Structure 1
């Protein structure tokens, strides 16, 4: 991280339950910057919980709020480690924003590990109903959605510190800029 290089954000993408929120906090500490969770930013901006936005206004309204929050966060002057929601990558506008303003890291995990991590979380509106079936269906629907990332890490059998170290090393090697 040389001083003559523009500071860019590190953007964590991936399916729910892959560790984005946890890793973002630890990575931010490691890099000496702040962490930002886009879902938390949406709640703050909309003054409404995500599950409530889905229930009262629908997924389309949530996705619009998500793009607005992502754009605002990516516009920050200070370097951030940004954890996105699992579906943020579904929008081409969001993917373009992430690539233009950050070093994008996709976190993946084995489906059964994802199920174990998210099955007890009531704040996941896309998992209402059968968790196992929904996870497998959404993973299939999104199997190529994270392919645009600069780096992909399978978090299934790694500790948070191992993930953080891999991201920090790769980001430093790649000068933290996108190739787009």
Structure 2
């Protein structure tokens, strides 16, 4: 089984994912990093030169590919939830956790980098609120959510470990048993 971290940009998916994988003795993979590696270009350049539809097509192909892996912590791009087939593919062999944060926290976390193509607008705070509103129903399709607004990374990881422990305890399957 994989642990899938999804959610809006700036919620901590990559940072939490790396640390969580190490702590659990699992492999780590970031779908955005994989796309950049395969394309030989940064995400914002892909958006700039080829557009969002092209990027979403790449993203869907990567999701389909990584959904067959096992024992990975996989951080996805924030828009991966926009296609139901992405969520379905990831759920087949994964537990999907959405990291959230309030718009003000997201703005503060993302304005430092300047490499967020969807926020390249005169009022990025307004755009964050619009995108969150548009994606809310998609983010609600996950197995569990953690609001990272006022939590440190260790606290987020603790919450994830707790829900995974409860999930495993409620599972009727016992290795070697019937």
TM-score under structure 1 normalisation?
0.89
Indicate whether 1:100 and 2:102 are aligned. no
1:60 to partner: Cα distance: 0.7
CA contact (8 A) 2:6 2:96 kept: yes
How many residues were matched structurally?
170
Q: Which deviations, in whole Å up to 9, do the C-alpha atoms of 1:57-76 show, x marking residues without a partner?
A: 11111001001112222222
Tell me the secondary structure at the aligned position of residue 28 of structure 2: strand
1:127 to partner: Cα distance: 0.5
Counterpart residue number, 2:83: 91
CA contact (8 A) 2:7 2:78 kept: yes
Give the counterpart of 2:22 among 25, 29, 43.
Answer: 29
Rg larger for: 2
1:1-80 equivalences under 5 Å are 8-76=1-69, 78-80=70-72
CA contact (8 A) 1:102 1:177 kept: no
Q: Which deviations, in whole Å up to 9, do the C-alpha atoms of 1:76-132 show, x marking residues without a partner?
A: 2x4111111100000111011121120000111111101100012222110011211
Q: Mind listing any 5+ residue stretches in structure 2 that lack a counterpart? A: 172-178
1:168, 1:38 → 2: CA distance? 22
Tell me the secondary structure at the aligned position of residue 78 of structure 2: coil
1:69, 1:176 → 2: CA distance? 31
Runs (4+) of structure 1 exceeding 3 A deviation are none
1:88, 1:122 → 2: CA distance? 21
Indicate whether 1:144 and 2:137 are aligned. yes
1:177, 1:59 → 2: CA distance? 40
